Amino acid sequence: MMHATKTCTERTDMADANAKPPCDIILRGGITSGVIYPGTIHGLAKTYRFVNVGGASAGAIAAGVTAAAEYGRQTGSRPDAFDELAKLATKVSGGPGSETSMRRLFSPDGRFRRLNGLLWAWLGLGATARRVLRYLFLAVLAAALLAPLLALFGVGGTWLMVTVVAFYGVLLVGFVAYRRLSRVLSELPEAGFGLCPGANPDVEATMAAHKTDGWLADWLHATIQDMAGRVVGQVPDGEPGTTVPLTAQPLTVGDLWSVQGAADGPDPTRRLNLSLTTTNLSHQLPHNFPFLERPEGALYFCPRELRRVVPEDVVRWMVVKSPERRADGYYRLPPPADLPVLLGVRLSLSFPLLIAAVPLHAPDLGRPGEPRPAPVALQRCWFSDGGITSNFPISAFDSPLPSRPTFCINLAEATDEETAKVAELDAAARDDILVWMPPVDDRPHAPRLRSRFEGSILGFLGAVSTTARNAHENELVLMPGYRDRIVEIATRKDEGGLNLAMPPATIEALSRRGARAATELTERFNTVNGGGWPVQRWVRFRSTMDAMERMLQAFQTAWHRPTQGARNFDDVRRQWSAEAEPACYPWADEATAAAADRAVGQVLVLADSLAAERQTLGDRVFDRPGDVAGAAPRPPLDLKMRPTGREVDAPTGAPPQGVATADAGTVKAVG
């Protein structure tokens, strides 16, 4: 729990943490592959202090726990947080000779216990046993299909008897399976499209019970609170404005932002930051936690619905911090600073059909400009796994010129060659092959083979889905300035992913592999050794300046030579004024209009200056295509416009301004 007075040892630990060089970290999703991360995080925490922490899906679990541990270390509320974090894989595995806690964490809704039992029975079989059962099923199915043919051609005796029995047996089994599967499929939507809701409604409100009897969300809540030096189960049941003691409060994003010390980025209020991806399937849009409310609409929650997917503590806190309560019992989401870290993790970790999606609600505003009848109805929005839209948000903390390294932990399936090569090796030698970083050089790197589906229709369809989700990130993995800070950890077919029934020894081996990844990163980026950090800064500078030159060239062309029929931007500029009343987005006042005019003038001076330099050189300034000595990093970067999904400078302690809401049956703009 929080300490009112720091001991001498705690103050020393805090000073040591603050003295460490800063870094950012991004963690890829991968279901049970997340057991890799405790070793990686603990290894990096020995050398670095985390600033921006991000991830998706299972990577969001590690990101949330990492942010909580850094909070505990920097505030002194849990100085040994990272040492405890390092033990998580062992605790999940249960240790040698024990059963893992995976099955309890992924406990199903009561309606799906039988199906869940079959799933675990299947996962508990070895690869060979599963293969034998598949072949046996195919053999019985083939015999059943032969029965009508044998009867047609008059074949009798034992063969006909066997095939007839198989035929009717397959029909019976198929009918029963169809009935049960139909019932399950009809109940899945009400259960959030997942077997496992996440929160155990009967768990006791204690730290020990959450860890030993809780389901996935309960265990995560207890782990995050423990890392932050706080407790669980003590948030009172109240309405907005109820006071909650600090030690009982769920760790929030605002707690992370309020960590004391010099700021490490453009926002002076944030020394520790968390960014997680989630997917709004109803609107078919990605969202970024904690800035869940996009400018086009507010979000609401129903406490009864949320209790299925997050612990009671978290729901009560969100009610207490809600800025608005509707007459129909729905509450507005708290401001970003008041959102619990656990909520962000749970929103990002909703693997389809396995872990239930999280229901939130948005005003049904219809088409822009159309009147809506009061009261404005809410529509349910299903928030599912962050990995659906970005399983490896590698560019989440990008800046034109990096001020600290951003380490990226990538998870990949081991190739057949790698699997064969490590089969007879000991653990250390195995990790030499399965943990890998690309060399630092200025040559293009060929993409790795990621999908093998020859002869498999399901494999082909899986590759289609995976490519659609990961193509953008896979491109960045090959880019200079990105690839140099990515460590790739390979897992074999019986490791990570959907292997929920991994034995303790496998979980321990994956955790050790994660620790090896931390060693790879710290050895490369250790500035004492020269390392990769100066190289990464130089590569990013070269890429950024090349992209900026091309952007300014396009800006200059469009400004001075508009398309036929369009007004020249110089003519538009001469009319800039707060009173000009353009169709939309006017300047705030005359002073702002004048400042904008001067700023655009400076941009044009820079663009014209670069054009003059190109004229003198006879070539581009920051890139000489085909000339090894002057070429910018390949492939080149583009500076493209893309939506942030939120207000860039949104207030953190109050509802974002300009967000459409549904209040008392009317739509309004907050602020």
Contact at 8 Å (CB) between 395 and 406?
no
Residue type, 4: A
Integer angstrom CA distances of residue 628 from 130, 540, 609 = 53, 17, 25
Residue 125 in this model has a pLDDT that exceeds 70: no
Q: How many CA atoms lie within 13 A of 209 on its CB side?
A: 11
Q: How confident is the model at residue 634 (pLDDT cuts 50, 70, 90)?
A: confident
- Would you state the pLDDT for residue 669? 27
Residue of higher predicted confidence among 11 and 319? 319
Q: Scan for tokens 């609170």, then name that residue.
A: 225
Q: What average pLDDT does range 369-382 have in this prediction?
A: 81
φ, ψ at 634 (rounded to 5°)? -115, 140
- Would you state the pLDDT for residue 297? 79
Could you report the per-residue pLDDT of 411-444, keeping only the tens digit for each?
Answer: 988 888 888 888 888 888 888 899 989 888 777 7
Residue type, 667: V
Q: Scan for tokens 């416009």, then name that residue.
A: 641
- Would you state the pLDDT for residue 18? 73
Pairing of strands 300-301, 285-289: unpaired
- Would you state the pLDDT for residue 189? 86
Residue of higher predicted confidence among 578 and 457? 457
Contact at 8 Å (CB) between 256 and 230?
no
Residue 276 in this model has a pLDDT that exceeds 80: yes
Report the b/e string of 106-143 with b at 16+ CB within 10 A.
Answer: bbbbeebeebbeebeeeeeeeeeeeeeeeeeeeebeeb
Q: What average pLDDT does range 632-644 have in this prediction?
A: 84
Q: How confident is the model at residue 541 (pLDDT cuts 50, 70, 90)?
A: very high
Category of 453 on φ-ψ map: left (φ > 0), alpha (ψ -120 to 50) or beta: alpha
Integer angstrom CA distances of residue 495 from 62, 121, 348, 411 = 18, 17, 22, 11
- Would you state the pLDDT for residue 209? 94
3-state secondary structure of 269: coil
Q: What average pLDDT does range 337-365 have in this prediction?
A: 93
Could you report the per-residue pLDDT of 580-596, keeping only the tens digit for each?
Answer: 777 788 888 889 888 99
Could you report the per-residue pLDDT of 68-105, keeping only the tens digit for each?
Answer: 999 999 999 999 999 999 999 888 876 555 556 777 88
pLDDT averaged over every residue in the chain: 82
Residue 646 in this model has a pLDDT that exceeds 80: no
Q: How confident is the model at residue 560 (pLDDT cuts 50, 70, 90)?
A: confident
DSSP string, 404-457: S-EEEEEEEEPPHHHHHHHTTS-HHHHHHHHEE-----SS--PPPP----TT-H
Contact at 8 Å (CB) between 322 and 333?
yes
Q: How confident is the model at residue 180 (pLDDT cuts 50, 70, 90)?
A: low
- Nearest 10 degrees: Cα torsion 82, 84, 86, 92: -140
Taking CA 78 as the corner, what is the angle to CA 74 and CA 82, rounded to the nearest 5 degrees? 80
Q: Which of 447-451, 490-494, 511-515 has the lowest mean pLDDT?
A: 447-451
Q: What average pLDDT does range 365-371 have in this prediction?
A: 72
In the chain, what is the greatest distance between 2 CA atoms, to the nearest angstrom? 99
- Would you state the pLDDT for residue 404? 92
> In terms of Cα–Cα distance, which of 166, 118, 158 is closest to 138?
166
Q: What average pLDDT does range 216-224 have in this prediction?
A: 96
Q: Scan for tokens 């508990």, then name that residue.
A: 124
